[in-house]
Amino acid sequence: MRILLLLLFMLFSITTHSLPHYGVSLPPPPTDPAKPPTSPYYPWKSRLASGADHVDKTTLYSIARAAHNQGQTHFADYLKHYLGNTGRDAHVSVDEMLSAMPQFRTEVHELAKFKAKLAYESLMMTRPDEAPVVPFTSFWHEYIATPDQSWDWFLSVGSSGSMRADSLGCR
């Protein structure tokens, strides 16, 4: 009986392996149909720039040039950076913001003094046999530059962002 089953199994495996394999590899999916030339949208739902778009961009570059001539260099630089559409980060100089806006500088210094006091108190409460750990978090709220403080920074950024830092660096 075993020999008969073994022979049947061998016969079955030989006949099934000699048949062509169907459905093992699938053809690639068909490509998307081409968009008609009259279609207004391109990838990412973008469109070709119209004449009005070019006029708007030229107008904004003119505004940037006029702002630069009036001494609002940060606004001019950030507007040109935005219009350039490079995707690179715009670097904002916090030191220049601190020197240009006294209220902003005062608020930053008050926050730093308060946080330093809390860190000192936390350090003093640590036992001598423990390694000192001073966590630092800033409950910084958004600071809005107003036109009476600095037109340049008001038009440049309008408000400040926030960041969190830990012992490994910024995140």
Please report whether residue 13 resides in a domain.
no
User: Range with the lowest mean pLDDT among 17-26, 43-52, 68-77, 82-91?
Assistant: 17-26
Same domain? 76 vs 57: yes
Query: Which 3 state secondary structure label does DSSP give 127?
Result: coil
Q: What is the predicted pLDDT for the residue at 170?
A: 45
Q: Is residue 33's pLDDT more than 70? A: yes
What is the number of domains present in the chain? 2
d(CA 96, CA 78): 14
User: Range with the lowest mean pLDDT among 13-17, 33-37, 47-51, 127-131?
Assistant: 13-17
Residue 68 or 129, more confident: 68
Domain of residue 152: give its range: 97-126+135-170
Read off the pLDDT of each residue in 107-131 and give the average, rounded to a whole number. Answer: 83
Please report whether residue 92 resides in a domain.
no
Q: What is the predicted pLDDT for the residue at 141?
A: 67
Q: What is the predicted pLDDT for the residue at 42?
A: 62
- Inter-residue contact 83 to 161 (CB < 8 Å): no
